[in-house]
Amino acid sequence: MKTFILIIFLIVFNVVLFTMYLNQRNKQSTDIEQLKEQNKQYQTHFDSLGAVNNALNLSIEAEKVKVQILFEKDAANIRLFENNQDAIKSLKTKYEKVNRIDSFKSNDILRYFTDSIGR
Amino acid sequence: MIVLSLTTYCAISQTALVDSVTCIPNSILRNAIKQIETGKVVKEELLLTKKSVSLLQNSLTIKDSVIASYQRSEADYKNIYTNAKIQMIDLNSLIANERAIGKIYMLDARKQKKLKWVYAISGIAVGYFIVHK
């Protein structure tokens, strides 16, 4: 009888223990699942940000190309401007020629009007 | 008479309308030519100056475009930096979660270890009582 009670007690004890173990295990599994789910979300967020960063990097590269083209345009513009400045400097000789008009004789004046304006 | 016939006189005609002759002193004509020629050169200079101004304006526009492009790049860099920071936070959270999972597994393993002894002692106790009673 005593043995029987002991066996029953042990069976009940084991059942209770096993149930506690199962509950605990279920709880832990749920926690782990939740944490794994959270990790998935973090990973998805991480990946999406990575994709955005890649797009931004591409945009930066495109801007670099644009800037390069603009610099080339600027260099061409500067060359044109320098040529223009040279042309302005070359006007000095024309102004000097104008000063020579002071020494024009009658013939020169006549030639000027007949050549430049008269015809 | 001879003297008079050899001398040329300039006269301003008041009646003739076409191809009339006007006598103007050379100094005035020189001045006129000078002004005409100066005008031509000044016109050329003005055109070149206008072209220079236009080129400078163009240069300014190009520089503005370069600045705008750099600003866009800077904004992109800032966004990348912000995203990287958020990614770092995400990674830290991932690591924390992995550690939490590891901790749970560790606790579970410890419990299993303890349960192993509980089952062993229970088994021995049951066996002992069954044998002696």
Q: Which two tokens stand for residue B54?
A: 């236009």
Which chain B residues are within 8 Å of A28, Cβ to Cβ? 104, 107-108
Domain assignments of chain A as residue spans, ordered by start: 2-118
Tens-digit pLDDT profile for residues B59-99: 999 999 999 999 999 999 999 999 999 999 999 999 999 99
Window B:10-29, CB contacts with A under 8 Å = 26, 29
DSSP structural state of residue A103: G
Residues written for chain A: 119
Residues written for chain B: 133
Q: Which two tokens stand for residue B110?
A: 């410890």
Residue that is written with structure tokens 């513009």 in the block: A77
Which chain A residues are within 8 Å of B81, Cβ to Cβ? none
Which residue, A32, A75, A86, A20, is CA-closest to B63? A75
The burial of B33, by beta-carbon neighbours within 10 Å (0-12 exposed, 13-18 middle, 19 or more buried), is given as buried
Nearest CA of chain B to the CA of A108: how many Å? 10
Which residue, B28, B44, B65, is CA-closest to B73? B65
Contact B90 A109 (CB under 8 A): no
The model's pTM: 0.68
Q: What is the pLDDT of residue A67?
A: 96
Domain assignments of chain B as residue spans, ordered by start: 26-132
DSSP structural state of residue A101: G
Tens-digit pLDDT profile for residues B96-115: 999 999 998 898 889 888 88
Contact B133 A3 (CB under 8 A): yes
